[in-house]
Amino acid sequence: MNNRTVPVVTGTYRLQLHAGFGFEDALAQVPYLSRLGVSHLYLSPILTAVQGSMHGYDVLDHSRVSEALGGERSFRELCEAAHARGLGVVVDVVPNHMAVPAPEWANAPLWQVLREGRTAATAGWFDIDWDAGEGRLGLPMLGDTLERTLAAGELTRDQHDGEPVIRYHEHAFPVSPSTDSGDLATVLARQHYRLASWRERDQVMNYRRFFEVDQLIGVRVEDPAVFEATHRLLLDLHHEGLIDGFRIDHPDGLADPEGYLARLADACVDGTPVWVEKVLEGEEELPAPWQTAGTTGYDALQAISSALVDPGTTAVLSGTWAEVGGAPDLDGVIEECKRHAAADLLQPEVNRLHRRAVESIPHLAPDRLREALVELLVATDVYRAYVRPGHPTSVLARAHAEEALSRARVRRPDLGDALDAV
């Protein structure tokens, strides 16, 4: 391990890396950034991402530094140049999701799941509700129904690396061993995935996404083996002395953010700063048990923006809002937007929660449970309450849940029993 003295963090400068601005381009900026007075370079994700990605959050391969950015050698040169000028290096980590690319073989762990199903060695990597898909992974990617797409001849047979695949425009899907005989419709019916129209997404999709982005599939980083596989390269570079700190993208998407941060802290050099991307609502604070140096600063940006915005413009903006039909009540607008998210944007996720509610509360009508579930989601005033499986529920998490229940009961007293049950 490198024993270099790491500079104290006083200010970071974010560099958005992509094929048009890679490690060599960042290297050219190091002298300027040193003169500017920042203490650390903050790099967007450095691992292999979807070809042409402008951000790097659509990770494909956790075992390789992106060749599109210049590869590991250029990354090392950047870190060494920064360190020579007394600058530290912070790297963005994407633990929550991976890309669902086209062609699909670009994501090797996902390709294995498509080929072998829930028994694949990498099936545990991804948050898939297999039972909801009757043992198949739903892929609502077609422009029309499967039947019409087949009739139009848009699905064709081909080969990739000597094995049969099924192509659909830029997409490619593996054919499971011993299922290659018969017409195309018969072959597709035997696969571990189900192709469907994008219009059927709400009924077919059974994997966790990044919000409503279908092309990002949730990763089960709470599994120690998955954590190890997805973090080993970054941690090796860190212990070598190249990476001095980490910024964690969207920890709220993880099953157990507290457990993840604890595992990461154990794997890092003592004292390594780890920041989290976290939106704090109102007076909400970071959970005290989280092992983190703090947030990436959305709360600070809010304070700065508030100081720089002239409150005298409120009347003008409110008047303009009313002229275009906007409701005068902000709370009402927020509620309307939450209902829209539950009904449209995030319906597959609500469907999954509804399935769990029906399983857990079989004595109540499913429709009634769904109404209650949506009311509780709308009534929740923070991104999430942190309930850890196998651990006592914290006072704060229980308080958030009880406050949401109280608000939901006021809005829908007729759902009292279902709200209590959910």
0.85 exceeded by the pTM? yes
Contact present, 287 and 258 (Cβ < 8 Å): yes
CATH of the domain at 245: 3.20.20.80
Domain boundary among 189, 212, 235: 212
Residue 88 lies in a domain: yes
Specify whether the CB–CB gap between 67 and 222 falls below 8 A: no
The number of distinct structural domains making up the chain is 3
pLDDT at 3: 67
Asked if 174 and 202 sit in the same domain, the reply is yes
What's the CA gap between 13 and 90, in Å, rounded? 10
Helix (H) or strand (E) holding 140: strand 137-142
Residue ending a domain, choose from 301, 326, 349 = 301
Residues 389, 336 within the same domain: yes
Whether 284 maps to a domain, the answer reads: yes
Closest CA to 138 of 173, 107, 103: 173
The distance from CA 403 to its chain's CA centroid, rounded to whole angstroms, is: 27
Per DSSP bridges, beta strands 47-49 and 59-65 are antiparallel
Is the domain of 252 the same as that of 114?
A: no
**Predicted pLDDT at 2:** 63
Residue 157's domain is classified under what CATH number?
3.30.1590.10
Contact between 158 and 225 (Cβ < 8 Å)? no
CB 59 within 8 A of CB 234: no
Question: Which residues, other chains included, contact 13 with Cβ-Cβ below 8 Å and sequence gap of 6+?
Answer: 33, 36, 38, 40, 41, 42
Task: Give the CA angle between residues 126, 129, 131 to the nearest 5°.
Answer: 135
pLDDT of residue 105: 97
Distances (CA, A) of 382 to 281, 329, 401: 6, 19, 10
Q: Please report, for residues 67, 122, 131, the alpha-carbon distance to residue 193 in angstroms, rounded to integers and kept in the order given.
A: 30, 15, 13
Indicate if 206 and 240 belong to the same structural domain.
no
Q: Dihedrals φ, ψ of 35, to 5°?
A: -70, -30
Residue 326 lies in a domain: yes
Query: Does residue 235 sit in the same domain as residue 266?
Result: yes
Report which of 417, 410, 383, 416 is spatially closest to residue 397, judged by C-alpha positions: 383
Question: Looking at residue 125, what DSSP letter applies?
Answer: G
Q: Are residues 200 and 264 in the same domain?
A: no
Last residue of a domain, one of 272, 301, 330: 301
- Dist. CA 344–CA 367, nearest whole Å: 17
Q: Does residue 176 contact residue 112 with C-beta atoms inside 8 Å? A: no
pLDDT tens digits for the chain (422 residues)? 566 777 889 999 999 999 999 999 999 999 999 999 999 999 999 999 999 999 999 999 999 999 999 999 999 999 999 999 999 999 999 999 999 999 999 999 999 999 999 999 999 999 999 999 999 999 999 999 999 999 999 999 999 999 999 999 999 999 998 888 889 999 999 999 999 999 999 999 999 999 999 999 999 999 999 999 999 999 999 999 999 999 999 999 999 999 999 999 999 999 999 999 998 888 888 999 999 999 998 888 888 998 999 989 989 999 999 999 888 888 899 999 999 999 999 999 999 999 999 999 999 999 999 999 999 999 999 888 888 888 999 898 999 999 999 999 999 999 999 999 99
- Same domain, residue pair 264 and 123: no
pLDDT at res. 281: 83
Range of the domain at 320: 312-421
Residue 29 sits in the same domain as residue 167: no
Per DSSP, the three-state class of 239 is: helix
230 and 189 together in one domain: no
Residue 306 lies in a domain: no
Pair type for strands 213-218 and 97-99 = antiparallel
Residues 349 and 254 in one domain: no
Question: Which residues are paired to 248 by β-bridges?
Answer: 93, 276
334, 408: one domain: yes
Is there a domain that residue 5 lies in?
no
340 and 406 both lie in a single domain: yes
pLDDT value, residue 291 = 97
pLDDT at 297: 82
85 alpha carbon, distance to own chain's centre: 34
